[in-house]
Amino acid sequence: MTKSRELERGCRVCEIDESTSEFNIPQGCFKLDVYDWLKDIPQPPRTFHIVEVRFKNTRKGFYENINGLPLRVGDIVAVESSPGHDIGIVSLTGELVKNQLSKNGESLEGEFKKVYRKAKQSDIQKWKAAVELELSTMLRTREMIRNLSLNMKLGDVEFQGDKTKAIFYYIADERVDFRELIKIMAEEFRIRVEMKQIGARQEAGRLGGIGPCGRELCCTTWLANFRSTTTHAARAQELSPNPQKLAGQCGKLKCCINYELPTYVHERKKFPAQNADLETKQGKARHVKNDILKHIMYYELRGEHTSIMTAVPIERVKEIMSLNKKGDIPDKLLRDEDIAVIDKKDDYASDLNEDSLNRFEGQNKKKRKSRNKKRKNRNPKHQGKQNNEQKNENNNKK
């Protein structure tokens, strides 16, 4: 098994111990990895009978340990498949598997495929040989797709552990008739072919990458279920409508837009209607934007010659609206107490805003001047000039 192919089973290249059937890779080295925070707590003799097994990239499954094998994270096991058996790596055991089942929407009373045994040395060798065929098979299949002029993109190939079946992951905008392609592939590769269509988000999770936030993609590290993200979620949070800023690595709207959406929806209920202008003796104020978490609405106050952007607390906005409904027009848009509320700084941000980025520039200039004076004093030529000047002054005095 070459190192380049071993890399796809984890983010580090590690050797497989065939004698003990273990895959020694540190925690957090796999895609969609789960941190076992119960590992230091002594477990009872009889643990949960379902284990989580991972395969290539983001493909994972839950299997029943019917034989009561003493499995631990990193063990290579032979599991039930259709047809034959597959080879995977145990990624999670114990009580945390229950949480993963509920997270993926699976019932504890459902039927699970079985864990046959710990992988033998012959199983691991056959699995290595199958993995080595994945790259060449993918490149050859892409040539077949081009020859048949099919409108599809082949992203990845994953061989089953017993080398009898392969899963071909592809992306297509429309429905593709690949019956002729499957016939050619079955004749050439002599395996059972399974075509699996995935979306752009699934492809991004399988390939991995770094998001605009500087962290690894959520769909690679922990996000297993994809919720649909709409532009309504972006508008509710007052985000920029620029599609380049809202789109992720997959070209779709970022999944993280949904993370804080319930908080923004709850806070927006406290805001009054935004389509009404505010009438004041200073002029008419038109709504522009909101700061939802600070409970502030921004209004453009139109004067005779200029327009001023003003931040108004939502309590003051409601008060002016109620006065306008009664036919009353307030003198000012903001009162003194409203200005104090807006200028009030948050405690967590005060320390950051007190010091500017150029606060050290004045000190550096003073230090440079003092250093230059010291250098001049140390210079013998400069000292000689000073001595001559003093002698001339003394002679003139005489």
Question: For residues 263, 265, 271 and 277, what is the CA-based torsion angle, rounded to 10 degrees?
Answer: 130
Report the mean per-residue pLDDT for the chain.
81
Note whether 259 and 284 are same-domain residues: no
Which residue, 119, 139, 156, sits at the end of a domain? 119
Span 314-333, average pLDDT: 89
Is 310 inside any structural domain?
yes
pLDDT for 150: 93
pLDDT for 7: 40
Note whether 265 and 285 are same-domain residues: no
Residues β-bridged to residue 90: 53
Instruction: Determine the distance from the C-alpha atom of residue 98 to the mean position of all C-alpha atoms in its chain, rounded to a whole number.
Output: 25
Is 91 inside any structural domain?
yes
Better-scored residue on pLDDT, 29 or 122: 122
Is 217 inside any structural domain?
no
* Confidence class for position 332, pLDDT limits 50, 70, 90: confident
Note whether 323 and 234 are same-domain residues: no
- Contact assessment for residue 31 and residue 18, using Cβ atoms and an 8 Å cutoff: no
Number of domains in the chain: 3
What is the percentage of the chain residues whose pLDDT exceeds 70? 76
Note whether 239 and 287 are same-domain residues: no
Note whether 38 and 98 are same-domain residues: yes
Q: Is 303's pLDDT higher than 80?
A: no
Is 2 inside any structural domain?
no
Give CA–CA dist 13/394, Å, rounded. 82
pLDDT for 348: 46
The 10s digit of each residue's pLDDT in 61-105 is 999 998 888 888 888 999 999 888 999 999 888 888 888 888 888
Which residue, 325, 345, 365, sits at the end of a domain? 345
> Would you state the structure tokens that stand for residue 128, as one six-digit string?
């290595």
Domain region containing 94: 8-119
Better-scored residue on pLDDT, 285 or 34: 285
Q: Determine the angle formed by the axes of helices 179-189 and 134-148, rounding to 10 degrees.
A: 140
Q: Is 301's pLDDT higher than 70?
A: yes
